[in-house]
């Protein structure tokens, strides 16, 4: 390491102990394993070179901007450079990656400075803000068969008029958007002609109001009286006969700014670098104003029974139909993206009916504490109404009383102490029947309101925000699943019903929306040739329509399973079926190129489903006594759902056992396709490889085959809605088998609740020494151990990032990658391409001819491999939509890929083809998948880690009032055992 100063390479240090792995959330350690042994030769690898400790030539950290090929529908000038970044990448507060005990080393400072420079080249086009600039589109793709498709984007034309932005303050402050809109509507109706200069303000329901032209004042205060239907009262019981009253609000409207439509037109014409988000927001509010008045608003979507028939989902829920609407800047100008959608709502049924549908309880008996907590959790935050008085009154449930209704006593206005049932009998002549049940509690803890359950009805139109169970999800998908032709017709109908041409707001702001969906150029990329082992009948296969089969083929590198056994936890299958399953599975694995010993190392056993932990512990003990390390445990799951997570947690974090779970119903069927899929999963779990790209075998993948390249996938999953104590889970996987990029190692980490940025990519030694850690370092060293080469190029697919988080995620995570590389070896800066993978969007692509066999797959969807990088894509940045899979049911959702950083200088064709080809290397099936596999694997790994902590933070408290708050404690994520972490255990 001469010439590097005192800094030494950290690639060759032994892996850290399991104890140290807890610093990054309890991750397993260990080096990557090679492929399983096989009698036939494995594919050639470039691992014969001795390890090179000298750093590779560092790539230039400020790559010159590339020329940008002209993009259709763009009238902007030639290439441009990004504006300067105003400040260094700001670390997220609370992150362990930024220690304040010591100042960063000069090398680390140089790394951060280099990153800043790359993101801050001097602009040649004007920019009104100092924002991070993402790479320009390197021309458009040319590969593949040219076709035309339609998209659910509708072109929007805007007149060059002045739009004024006003701040709105309502006092007393209210949180309901609906009530805020009611207040502003009353104000406009009363004062539009007299005070508002005959303007038609568009209001967003919060703090912003927009007008076409200025109002006659800079600031003005109004008084608005609103009829009150929802005042809950403050006494300990529902006080009746309270007259409907009016509430008075003070509304202050204050001039904020004038939006710049010229800036927007310049940006769309590629003459301006930064997007004027405020202008787009103003126009979006205008187009949403009318439906916001007519329908229930959920995020960017609208729902109403008027938009389609409702239907039951079970457990006291129903689905409403609706549509999503969003205004976006695209290459064709402004585009209104409209898509049909459906959402779960509470059924407007009596509370006792809701409880009966959700819980198996005898409501004639008092509630146990456990049942009371479950009901409280199910009803907390739900609005109910009672109509036993003169007026219908509405309340928001905050909890349940600990005492039964008959034991609840209060003092009335005359100072008489009486029970709630007695009060209702005397006041309303109502004899309560369920006095043994708890009462619903509304109001606050200091001034509670107790409501008899039997008198309460759930208010209609409330969105169900909790996680749907499997049956509800299935019912929702079944009810809303539409073929492409039907979905496109539904979207067209929504656009017609919206009547933008006669909409009062659109007319006032001179906005026109085309009713025909956008017609755009697309290309169908050819599927890649896949390589199998030469000893099979077919050593190569070219998929057709996104799928192929394993007939006459053998895995490219079959794994070895000598020590295995089976545990049956199902009580309903025949006792001989586990033996038949294992026999047939061993035969299938061997026929596909694995070496799978036919007899188990310890006898196949059965155990009751209630003794899972004991059964696994006893089996592990038997293997230890037999002095064998169990390579694979086949588990037939219990008949009742809910035990999968527990099994995986015990096997992977406590016992260090690689497991393959099987559903009892599939074991009973035991068809050949199921056994084949099990064989594919098992092979990668024991270190084998199923198939590789033929181009990888021939060393001809651009930007991958030429130098050792590591491909990352990263994702962060968050707790389900309403769960405030669970951490978010970050997962990162990285390829371990260059040049084939099919075998991945995964690392998981717990982090702060709902934190999107991955905190543990790099963890700096707080003592200022060289004891750095983090996910990137761990995966780089595993790559080095597996391939005997260090990565010289990084491709990073990042899933789960919304557009509003692009800047923050890029700056923080790229900085972490740079620091991790530099901590491994001085001046070690492999070039990075950082791509965001987005599945949660509402763009859909439809075939030009829904009946054309040459342009659709069997499901009526567009062909697998269809890629779009024009018309509906970003005006200047490097993004594309790729439909890499064949549809099965419903309408396929293309995946959106957006390049945020690219030092590897990919052309459009190179990145699109690489991404599409990788989608054919997913290990669990013989189909291409919809998102690039490393991102898919990261998603699987994150959800697997979620199972490890499932149930650890159950709601066992008795608090009933107020809003739930984020827990102050941290949930520790158990470590994955080293032998499990080394293989693709998440498959």
Q: What is the pLDDT of residue 544?
A: 95
Beta bridge partners of 442: 449
Q: What is the rounded average pLDDT of the residues 282-310?
A: 95
Q: What is the rounded average pLDDT of the residues 400-417?
A: 86
Contact present, 644 and 661 (Cβ < 8 Å): yes
Report the C-alpha gap between 690 and 541 in whole angstroms. 13
Residue ranges of the chain assigned to CATH 3.40.50.2300: 558-686
Least confident of 23-37, 127-141, 249-263, 900-914: 23-37
- Assess whether the previous peptide bond of 91 is cis (omega < 30° from 0): no
Higher pLDDT, 708 or 52: 708
The per-residue pLDDT for range 428-467, each reduced to its tens digit, is: 899 999 999 999 999 888 888 899 999 999 999 999 988 8
Beta bridge partners of 153: 337
Q: What is the rounded average pLDDT of the residues 7-25?
A: 49
In order, the DSSP letters of 318-332 are: EEEEEEEEEEEEETT
The per-residue pLDDT for range 667-704, each reduced to its tens digit, is: 999 999 999 999 999 999 999 999 999 999 999 999 99
The per-residue pLDDT for range 602-652, each reduced to its tens digit, is: 999 999 998 999 999 999 999 999 888 999 999 999 998 889 999 999 999
Kindly provide the b/e burial profile for residues 657-690, where b requires at least 16 CB atoms within 10 angstroms of the residue's own CB. Answer: bbbbbbebebbeeeeeebbbbbbbbbbbbbbbbb
Report the C-alpha gap between 164 and 258 in whole angstroms. 5
Q: What is the rounded average pLDDT of the residues 357-386?
A: 92
**Closest CA relative to residue 570, chosen from 492, 661, 664, 643:** 664
Report the C-alpha gap between 494 and 285 in whole angstroms. 18
The per-residue pLDDT for range 872-914, each reduced to its tens digit, is: 999 999 999 999 999 988 999 999 999 999 999 999 999 999 9
**Closest CA relative to residue 601, chosen from 660, 558, 570, 561:** 561
The per-residue pLDDT for range 41-86, each reduced to its tens digit, is: 444 444 434 333 333 333 333 333 333 333 333 333 333 333 333 3
Q: In 3-state terms, what secondary structure has residue 341?
A: strand
Q: What is the pLDDT of residue 191?
A: 96
Q: What is the pLDDT of residue 12?
A: 65
Residue ranges of the chain assigned to CATH 2.170.260.10: 351-459
Q: In 3-state terms, what secondary structure has residue 418?
A: strand
Residue ranges of the chain assigned to CATH 3.30.420.10: 693-834+902-910+920-950+971-986
Q: What is the pLDDT of residue 771?
A: 87
Q: What is the pTM of this model?
A: 0.85
Q: What is the pLDDT of residue 39?
A: 40
Q: What is the pLDDT of residue 443?
A: 87
Q: What is the pLDDT of residue 723?
A: 72
Q: What is the rounded average pLDDT of the residues 570-591?
A: 95
Higher pLDDT, 801 or 122: 801
pLDDT band at 784 (very low <50, low <70, confident <90, very high): very high
| CATH code linked to domain 558-686 | 3.40.50.2300
CB atoms within 10 A of CB 431: 9
Cα angle at 275 between 270 and 280, to 5 degrees? 115
Q: What is the pLDDT of residue 58?
A: 37
Q: What is the rounded average pLDDT of the residues 176-188?
A: 94
Contact present, 376 and 398 (Cβ < 8 Å): no
Q: Which CATH class is domain 693-834+902-910+920-950+971-986?
A: alpha beta
pLDDT band at 109 (very low <50, low <70, confident <90, very high): low
Q: What is the pLDDT of residue 415?
A: 80
What are the CA-CA distances from residue 664 to residues 574, 608, 670, 987 (Å)? 10, 14, 10, 19
Q: What is the pLDDT of residue 80?
A: 38
Q: What is the pLDDT of residue 106?
A: 55
Report the C-alpha gap between 33 and 42 in whole angstroms. 14
Report the C-alpha gap between 585 and 580 in whole angstroms. 8
Look-up: residue for tokens 């192929």?
A: 548
Report the C-alpha gap between 511 and 713 in whole angstroms. 42
CATH topology of domain 351-459: paz domain (2.170.260)
**Phi then psi dihedrals of residue 726, to 5 deg:** -85, 150
């Amino acid at each position: 390491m001469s010439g590097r100063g005192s800094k030494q390479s950290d690639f060759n240090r032994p892996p850290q102990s399991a104890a140290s792995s807890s610093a990054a959330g309890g991750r397993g350690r260990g080096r990557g394993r090679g492929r399983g042994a096989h009698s036939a030769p494995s594919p050639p690898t470039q691992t014969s070179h001795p390890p090179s400790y000298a750093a590779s030539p560092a790539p230039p950290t400020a790559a010159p901007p590339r020329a940008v090929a002209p993009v259709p529908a763009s009238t902007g000038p030639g290439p441009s450079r990004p504006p300067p970044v105003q400040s260094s990448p700001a670390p997220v507060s609370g992150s362990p990656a930024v220690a304040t005990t010591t100042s960063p080393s000069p090398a680390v400072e140089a790394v951060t400075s280099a990153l800043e420079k790359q993101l801050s080249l001097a602009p040649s086009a004007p920019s009104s803000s100092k924002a991070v600039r993402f790479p320009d589109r390197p021309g458009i793709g040319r590969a593949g068969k040219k076709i035309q498709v339609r998209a659910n984007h509708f072109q929007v034309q805007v007149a060059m008029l002045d739009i004024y932005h006003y701040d709105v303050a309502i006092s007393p402050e209210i949180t309901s958007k609906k009530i805020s809109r009611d207040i502003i509507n009353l104000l406009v109706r009363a004062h539009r002609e007299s005070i508002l200069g005959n303007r038609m303000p568009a209001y967003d329901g919060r703090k912003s109001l927009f007008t076409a032209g200025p109002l006659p004042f800079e600031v003005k205060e109004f008084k608005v009286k609103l009829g009150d239907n929802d005042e809950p009262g403050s006494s300990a019981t529902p006080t009746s006969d309270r007259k409907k009253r009016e509430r008075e609000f003070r509304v202050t409207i204050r001039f904020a700014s004038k939006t710049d439509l010229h800036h927007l037109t310049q940006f769309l014409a590629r003459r301006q670098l930064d997007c004027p988000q405020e202008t787009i927001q103003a126009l979006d509010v205008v187009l949403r104003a009318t439906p916001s008045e007519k329908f229930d608003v959920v995020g960017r979507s609208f729902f109403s029974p008027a938009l389609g028939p409702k239907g039951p989902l079970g457990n006291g829920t129903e689905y409403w139909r609706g549509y999503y609407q969003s205004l976006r800047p695209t290459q064709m100008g402004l585009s209104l993206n409209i898509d049909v959608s459906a959402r779960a709502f509470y059924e407007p049924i009596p509370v006792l009916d809701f409880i009966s549908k959700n819980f198996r309880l005898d409501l004639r008996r008092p509630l146990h504490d456990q049942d009371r907590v479950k009901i409280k959790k199910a009803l907390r935050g739900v609005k109910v109404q009672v109509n036993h008085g003169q007026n219908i009154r509405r309340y928001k449930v905050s909890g349940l009383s600990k005492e039964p209704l008959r034991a609840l006593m209060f003092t009335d206005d005359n100072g008489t102490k009486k029970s709630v049932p007695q009060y209702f009998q005397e006041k309303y002549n109502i004899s309560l029947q369920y006095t043994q049940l708890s009462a619903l509690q509304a109001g606050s803890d200091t001034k509670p309101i107790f409501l008899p359950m039997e008198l309460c009805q759930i208010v209609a139109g409330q969105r169900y925000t909790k996680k749907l169970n499997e049956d509800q999800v299935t019912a929702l998908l079944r009810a809303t699943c539409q073929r492409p032709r039907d979905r496109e017709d539904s979207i067209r109908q929504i656009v017609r019903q919206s009547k933008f041409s006669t909409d009062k707001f659109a007319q006032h702001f001179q906005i026109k929306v085309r009713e025909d969906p956008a017609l755009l150029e697309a290309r169908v990329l050819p599927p890649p040739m896949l390589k199998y082992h030469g000893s099979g009948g077919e050593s190569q296969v070219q998929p057709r329509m996104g799928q192929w089969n394993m007939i006459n083929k053998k895995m490219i590198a079959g794994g070895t399973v000598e020590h295995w056994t089976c545990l049956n936890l199902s009580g309903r299958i025949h006792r001989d079926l586990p033996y038949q399953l294992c026999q047939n599975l061993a035969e299938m694995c061997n026929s596909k190129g694995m070496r799978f010993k036919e007899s188990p190392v310890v006898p196949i056993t059965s155990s009751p489903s209630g003794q899972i932990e004991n059964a696994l512990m006893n089996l592990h003990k038997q293997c230890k006594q037999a002095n064998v390390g169990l390579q694979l445990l086949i588990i037939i799951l219990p008949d009742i759902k809910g035990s999968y997570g527990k099994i995986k947690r015990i096997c992977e974090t406590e016992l260090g056992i690689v497991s393959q779970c099987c559903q009892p119903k599939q074991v009973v069927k035991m068809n050949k396709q199921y056994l084949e899929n099990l064989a594919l999963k098992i092979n990668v779990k024991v270190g084998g490889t199923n198939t590789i790209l033929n181009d990888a075998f021939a060393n001809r993948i651009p930007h991958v085959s030429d130098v050792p390249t590591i491909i990352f996938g990263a994702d962060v999953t968050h707790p389900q809605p309403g769960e405030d104590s669970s951490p978010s889970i970050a997962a990162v996987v990285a390829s371990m088998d260059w040049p084939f990029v099919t075998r991945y190692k995964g690392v998981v980490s717990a982090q702060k609740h709902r934190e999107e940025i991955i905190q543990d990519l790099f963890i700096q030694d707080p003592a200022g020494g060289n004891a750095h850690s983090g996910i990137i370092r761990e995966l780089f060293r595993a790559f080095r151990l597996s391939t005997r080469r260090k990565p010289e190029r990084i491709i990073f697919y990042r899933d789960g990032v919304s557009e509003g988080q692009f800047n923050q995620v890029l700056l923080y995570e790229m900085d972490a990658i740079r620091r991790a590389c530099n901590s491994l070896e001085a001046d070690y800066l492999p070039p990075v391409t950082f791509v965001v993978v987005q599945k949660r969007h509402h763009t859909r692509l439809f075939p030009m001819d829904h009946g054309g066999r040459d342009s659709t797959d069997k499901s009526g969807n567009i062909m697998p491999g269809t890629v779009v990088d024009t018309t509906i894509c970003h005006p200047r940045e490097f993004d594309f939509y790729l439909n890499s899979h064949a549809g099965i049911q419903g309408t396929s959702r293309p995946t959106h890929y957006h390049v945020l950083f690219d030092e590897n200088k990919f052309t459009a064709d190179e990145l699109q083809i690489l991404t599409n080809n990788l989608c054919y290397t997913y290990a669990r099936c013989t189909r291409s998948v919809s998102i690039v596999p490393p991102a898919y694997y990261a998603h699987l790994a994150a959800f697997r880690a979620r199972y490890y902590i499932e149930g650890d933070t159950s709601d066992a408290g008795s608090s009933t009032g107020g809003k739930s708050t984020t827990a102050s404690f941290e949930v520790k994520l158990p470590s994955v055992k080293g032998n499990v972490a080394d293989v693709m255990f998440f498959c």
